[in-house]
Each structure stands twice: as C-alpha cells, then as structure tokens.
Amino acid sequence: AGAKGTFYSFGKGPDPEGKLWDPYFDDPVFLEKFGNFLKAMALRYDGNPDIAFIDIGSYGLWGEGHTHMSSQVPKDREYPIICKHIDLHLKYFRKTLLCANDDFAGHDTPGARFPITDYALSKGLTLRDDSIMVQPPPRSWYHAEMAQAFWPSYPVVLEHEHFGGSKERGAWGDGSLLLKAVEDYHASHLSIHWWPHEFLKENRAIIDKINLRMGYRIQLRQIDLPKSVRMGEFFNVETRWANAGVAPCYSGGFFALTLKNAQGGIVSVLTDESFDMRELQVGSPGNAPVKILQSKFRIGLHGPTTKPGSCDVYISVGRRDGAPQIALPLPDDDGQRRYRIGKLNIKP
C-alpha cells in the first residue's frame, strides 16, 4: 500500500541486501492500515469476557518491543513511536486490559522507572515481560523492579523462555527460578513457552507451587457463626480472610452467606458490603496478613421463603448483590461457587 520501511539482516541491522523487512513503525500509511485492523479487532474482542489482556505487539521483532536484532531503530526515536502505538490501541480498546512490553524500555537495561513505561502506566496499561530465563543466573530477568509500579494496580504478565532452549543453555536449573520470578514480579499470568504436555510432565512439582501463589488466592481462615438466630433480629458473624497469592484480587468481591432450606431453595442471601476483598494485602509465602471482619446480618421477617427451621449455610465471594464470582479453596461447592460451612437454626 506504499508504506515505507527498511530491509535488514537478522542480528546485523539495516542491510539493502537483507532478506527481511520492517516498516517504519511511524509511517502514516502503515499506521492508517494498522488502525483499520485494530478497529475491526476491537469490535470482536474489546470487552470480550474471555479475553484477559491484549498485548501491544505491533512494535519490534516478534512484537516484543525491541529492534536490536532487526531494523535497529535509534533509541532517541523510539519513545514517540511507541507512544503512537499505545495511543492507537487505546483509541479502540477501551474496556480490555492492554499490556506494554518491558522491552519498550530496552531489552537488557535493568531499572525501575523509564519514561515509556511511566507513560504506559499513566494510560492504564499493565506490564508484560517476555522470555524469563533466557540467560543463566544472575541475570535471569531484568525488569522485576519495573513491575513494582504496576502490580499494585494491574495484573502483571510473564512469559518464560522456550523450555528446551533454556535447559540447553543451563538457564533453567531445577525450575525454582520460575517460581522466584512469579514472586519477584507479583505475577498474575504466566504464558507457557513450550509443548504444554511435555512442559507439565517435567515441571509438575514447580507448577503446583506456582499455582498456589500466582495471582490471588482468597482464603477463608476461620468463621464464627451462631447456632441459631431469630428472624428480624441482628446477629454477628466473625470471619478471618487472607490472600495467599502474590497479587491483589483486582476484580474485588464481597463476602456473602446464603441460607438454603432442606429442599435446596434459597431462604436468604446476606452480603457484607463493608469490605472489598481487593483490599486484602499480600505477603511472603505462608505469611499473608489476616483480615478480621466483624459482620452484622439480619434475616428479614417477610421474605416469601423465609420460614423458621434448620438451614444449610453457604459462604461465597462475589458481587454486592450476593451473586458468587470467585472460586474458593473450600469443599462442598454447590456448583455455583457457594461452599457449605454448616447449619443455622432460624427461630420465629
């Protein structure tokens, strides 16, 4: 369509005889055509509940935000170009989370703050770091410090190196570095970079450990529930909650009790809207801070299904209206992310 660019040789930079080609990433024709693509893509995927995040992968080799092995865009030109790509994505993707690659700031430049990632953060983007464990220790990754500005507000995304290649270079070790990366970045997502079944077979133990820490893990540590209550009268419930993961529960949620009769019908739904689970603090493994929540509930007198008798009590975390949303590590799930914790006798 007339977009200008440059030929290059892989690893050597611009080369008139090169077999590979990059556009000039700020070329008006290229940006116009790419904008048309993003517009069509956003119609399908922006706000799609099955999409957790979308990478800004339109700049650099492999979409990773670097050109040192390709057309070698001068460093002093990169900032305004990448900002244009960020803004173009934001024009069309207004609901779905967008990711900025750490290599926007330099693929091997350690540090916490850079103008381009500060710009991305100011625009509501999160951070993705590709190819953890390409190199053996001590530089198995470069930008854990950078992630500290992002993870308190947005879920950080990691991708590990090709598993086979990492093993061959001696960078993989026993796999424990992958768990350390999840801890250091406070990661919520981890992309698998190998044949999944082979990767799982050889790394099952470390994957099990990662699954207990990555993202958030809301735990009910204790609940003190009365054995009986009277209709129309307030009663107290004390619960203790913790987030055993490395990152906040970004979507948040509220604790609710659901009372069911002997036929499984819902008698009452009681929600405590005073505390959002997003506010649970994270800690080191085994040291998650515990939040003690004192809740006051009342079972109404005039509900059509509210009658005296014994009820099963279920606990859940979800919307303010009591609709469950978050899976909890508890037994006796009713299939709707409510978990049976005991019985309560309702007195007239």
- Report the distance separating Cα 237 and Cα 296, nearest Å: 6
What pLDDT score does 300 carry? 84
102 confidence band (pLDDT: 50, 70, 90): very high
What distance, in Å, lies between the first and last C-alpha atoms of the chain?
Answer: 78
Q: What is the pLDDT of residues 208-263, one digit of tens each?
A: 999 999 999 999 999 999 999 999 999 999 999 999 999 999 999 999 999 999 99
**Percent of the chain at pLDDT above 90?**
93
47 confidence band (pLDDT: 50, 70, 90): very high
Ranges of beta strands (E only) in the chain are 5-9, 13-14, 20-23, 54-55, 98-101, 126-132, 156-160, 187-191, 218-224, 228-230, 234-243, 254-260, 266-272, 290-298, 309-318, 339-347
- Report the distance separating Cα 220 and Cα 243, nearest Å: 9
Amino acid at 142: Y
What pLDDT score does 306 carry? 81
- Report the distance separating Cα 246 and Cα 234, nearest Å: 36
What residues form DSSP beta bridges with 159?
A: 191
Strands 228-230 and 339-347: parallel
Torsion (CA) 171, 176, 181, 182 in degrees, nearest 10 = 140
- Report the distance separating Cα 307 and Cα 58, nearest Å: 61
Of the candidates 177, 196, 182, the one whose C-alpha atom is nearest the C-alpha of residue 136 is 177
CA angle at 330 for the pair 327 and 335, rounded to the nearest 5°: 55
Token pair of 46 as six digits: 């922006």
Identify the burial level of 13 via C-beta atoms within 10 angstroms of its C-beta, where 0-12 means exposed, 13-18 middle and 19 or more buried.
middle
What pLDDT score does 106 carry? 87
Identify the burial level of 292 via C-beta atoms within 10 angstroms of its C-beta, where 0-12 means exposed, 13-18 middle and 19 or more buried.
exposed
The distance of Cα 16 from the centroid of its chain, to the nearest Å, equals 43
- Report the distance separating Cα 112 and Cα 261, nearest Å: 55
89 confidence band (pLDDT: 50, 70, 90): very high
The average confidence (pLDDT) of the chain is 96
Which H, E and C letters describe 2-64, residue by residue? CCCEEEEECCCEECCCCCEEEECCCCHHHHHHHHHHHHHHHHHHCCCCCCCCEECCCCCHHHC
Reported residue count of the chain is: 348
What single DSSP character describes residue 68?
Answer: T
Q: What is the pLDDT of residues 303-344, one digit of tens each?
A: 777 888 999 999 999 999 999 999 999 999 999 999 999 999
Q: What is the pLDDT of residues 263-315, one digit of tens each?
A: 999 999 999 999 999 999 999 999 999 999 999 999 987 777 788 899 999 99
C-alpha distances in angstroms, 56 versus 38, 181, 188, 230? Answer: 11, 22, 18, 57
Give the number of other Cβ atoms within 10 Å of residue 14's Cβ.
Answer: 14
What pLDDT score does 122 carry? 98
- Report the distance separating Cα 266 and Cα 299, nearest Å: 12
